[in-house]
Structure 1
Amino acid sequence: MARVSRKNNDKTKKVSSYRIWKTAIYARLSNINSGKEDDETLEVQIAYDRMNIDSKPDLELIDIYADNGFTGTNFERPEFERLLADIQMKRIDCIVVKDLSRFGRNFLDAGYYLEKLFPFLGVRFIAINDRYDSEASESQNGMTVPIKDMLNELYSRDLSVKIRKTWEQKRSRGEIYWPIPFGYRKDEENPGKLILDKEVAVFVKMIFDWKLKAISQREIASRLTELGVPIPFERRVQLGYVKDGDRVQREEWVTRDINRILRDPLYTGDMVYNRWAYARHYQNTGRENPREEWCITPNAHEPIITHEEYETVRRELKNKSAQYQKRRTENKRSLDKMPNVFEKILFCAECGHAMHHIRRVFHNRTRFTEYHCRHRKECENKHIIPARFLQILVMDQIRNQIQIGIDIEQMKKEWTATSEYAKKKAQLQNQQNMRQRVVDSFADKKRKAYEDFAEGLLNENEFMAVRQDIEEKAMKAKDYLEESKAEWEELKQLLQVEEHFQEFLKMNPEDLSFNENLMKTFIKRIEIDRDGALSIQFTIQNQVIRYLKIEELTK
């Protein structure tokens, strides 16, 4: 959950009348309710709390802390721990929750925070639906909170026992309590039982037969798409198990669909429970538990394949997975040797976003990296440039800058020893001094005009006209003076060399090779346009432009 820092600008706060509390919203959703779109979602909790905070002018919302899918029976929750840290840093001194059950359901721990720690730290606690506010005298009788916490703890334990018993009963009967798998449908007479979906069950058998013939998942998916077989989600829509048919985003089978079917032991006729372990937060996927932890109810429904066929496919997939993980580990070592040296330097000239770095390794041998704009669909910059080619182009420009810098130093040395340089320097200085005197003279003219006006030599209209004329001429004179100063500063700048550039003027540019430090010493920003043209911004003066300007001065 992203942090939110907001000041209630829509309400006037009289700071002198009452204390302004630095307020946090704390919301929690248990792993039982996690992800359900009902009236107990985190969004609803937060909106409810925010509405109540907005109605109290002494509360200023600083941040929102939300633990997704964490039980209320313990306080080992990441967002709650972040809240405690912010309280210790004096960033928060007031907590608002929808009700006490959102804060916690453990009697001892909740009581410790509400009756000891928070009062000691000077933290105000508000439970909206319980009408509890630690600042209100009627809430400080030491009774309301402990009793409500005890009920919450008993409720949590009772609910867990009931849910566990319900699941155990379903398991003993071999009933299914997750989405109906492809190839089966609900038994209308016994909705907890599965029966064959004869229209598509044949395709499940074909999937396993093809895999036993060593046909890849990609090829199997392609065949099923060509045959017009509905994907699993679409079939659930057709059977009426999913009401929102608009959620079907594709018609083509993908390897993920095939893998899910090939790995599911349900097609052997057994019902398998506790196959997956899910983390206690929002996650749509989990890790597979070891087989010895599975709870299996054999012969729960009619099989589509034999146990032998399933085990053969499973072993093959396991071997393939092990090989893939091995290659992935080896490739990662190679990828780690291919850093993004142009990070924060290379940008798209069309949209201004940083260019995306792509690294590829094939069988731990072929390696290459390239860059493209990750927003190329919007900005239409579809140009892809290999990193090695970019390094060559950049290195050519760096060598070019150094070589021209060396040529400039020689040209500068010869020119500054001539009378032409001394004459040019004196001319610019004299011009600047003369224009400074002109600017200064207008102050005297302005003063003289005022004296004439004071002595009656000029009437008011004449004085205003004279003063306006003087100010206009003075403004032009100042512009001329600034031009002289800029011209003089430009000459000095052209003849100066950046300190970090001086050491490179003593080197042979051809002896230099590309490296990240060298590149960042010279390059500030690189942009690539849709035609692949590079625009480079250097950390030093562009030596090509510098050379042309000095050459013009020496003529």
Structure 2
Amino acid sequence: MFGQSKTALITALYCRLSRDDELQGDSNSIINQKKILSTYAKQNGFLNIQYFVDDGFSGTNFQRPDFQRMIAEVEQNHVGTIIVKDMSRIGRNYLKVGFYTEVMFRERNVRFIAVNNGIDSDKQGDNDFTPFLNIMNEWYARDTSRKVAAVYRAKGLEGKHTSSHPVYGYLKDPDNKYQWIVDEEAANVVRRIFQMTIDGKGPYQIAGILQSEKVLCPSYYLAQKGVGNNKNKVFADPYRWWGNTVEYILSRMEYMGCTVNFKTYKKSYKDKNRRPAPKDKWSIFEHTHEPIIDEETWHTAQRLRKTVRRPDSLGTPNPLTGLLFCADCGAKMYNERGKGAHGLPRNNYICSNYRKHTADCTMHYIRADVVEKLILDALKKISRFAKENRDEFVHRMMESSSIQQDKEAKACRKQLEKSKKRAAELDTLIRRIYEDNVGGKITDKRFEKLSGEYEQEQSDLEKSIAEIRARLDCFDKQSVKADKFLALIDKYTDFTELTTPMLNEFVEKVVVHQRKKGPRYTFSQQVDIYFNFIGMVKPSETKSECTKDKIPAEHYVAKSTSFAALGQYLQKQKGPSISLTFAEVEKIIGKKLCKSAYKYAAYWYPAFNRPMSNVIYNARFDISSIDLKRCTLSLRNCPI
């Protein structure tokens, strides 16, 4: 046989025992299997015996260590005979068992014997019933899986924990294995992770801090206590924290005292990896064990996790990022930071749809320091009033919240109907272009492009509809939590400075409206601040550039400026407005304008080191419009 003597080949005695087999008693034990196989081998004169043993492995799993080691020996032509107690020891998948016994072993000239089933591949008559045995063995595995799944589901629906081990921060109660108790040492680390998240730190920053402070990672910590899935693992670095470990801890609802079952599932008992289940399939039971994190802190952390905050050239991300929204299109505001004109720092927000040109929206520009001041001023006023008039504050919040929710719910319902109508239109459009494609009216390439665009829009609409419906459900269930807001105010004693934790705990969102132009290049802008628990208390309005009393009377112009003649000319004009061509301006000042005057509209607006525009401003005129193509400018008289 392949150049080797029969006596030199291995006689493989294969034994397997799963956890389910253990329940049947000693008949399937490894010791019993070895005894049966060794006795059979000696009685029938088999030599060069080697045992291959897999203890604690399911028959549906063919990646068993010793089974794979045995197959490797078969592939190297080192095995002459394989003996098992019965067919089910090889496995409980009739297709795979059939492949090994009917194909591989035959091709490699390996004799296969199943003692209790009376099967011997050298005796053709003994093998007629083998395929049926394989099917019966697989049916047994499927039936066992169904029974185990039924017990697992019944246990989960009762609100009992279905996981083998508690999450980091809890231990099993010694007196009741279904009850979790708080492990204070680990729970303090969990509380700190949530607090650092509210302080504005990201998962990888938190992981770096914990690692630098030599805090034991969860897997090693649990292994030291003799629990978890890594009890026998050798850890190269017991202090190694990963960002995804922190994200995993932040995502667990169990820290609020909830039992969450059925978060994963298997499509088939043959699958070895579980898949994430949709959230609507989860079973959530509240108040089943002592919470480590309160509900408000957990939900605040989830909200903060949705916003990616990347450091830029100025260092840490702006804490306002993720809180500001455009009042017109609803998109998040984009933070622009860096060095502006003349090396001055720039830190402002604009509508992200405007920036990316993904929607027809305007800039909605606002400086970060203006938003911070508005929030801090509002917090000072609210906290002062709430502390001095607690009962009146609660009463007002109840009234304003009811009115506000009715208004928002009406807007949501209107948007929902609009989205549903558009989704129905897209179904019709997709059907029409399909018919046009079949009829040859449009090409396949055009059809693929249009159908792709329509399907993407439809997918976006479905997500939007789901979000709106969830929001409406929230309106139905939500009640004013003024008492929780008061508790939050009591937590902070100093409102002189707006800190990141204050911002994240107090503010739900800030809605920024488009700026409105005022006289002398000033703007007014409405900013709506929504607080956690109480919503929008009162719309805030500010002059985002400068208030009326801060309007500069004049801008600096050198006494010897060559543009003084234009200022003298404008001061003599009495009408409400005046139009001039660039040629007329050149005639008044007695020289040619520079190239920038013809190329950039900004040249004509007052700013640092712009003598021409500053002369116009000091003469009490504002620019109404600039037409660079026609080389004309319109000025508006702004008397004091």
TM score, norm. by length of structure 1 = 0.38
TM score, norm. by length of structure 2 = 0.34
Which structure has the higher relative contact order (CA within 8 Å, separation 6+)? Answer: 1
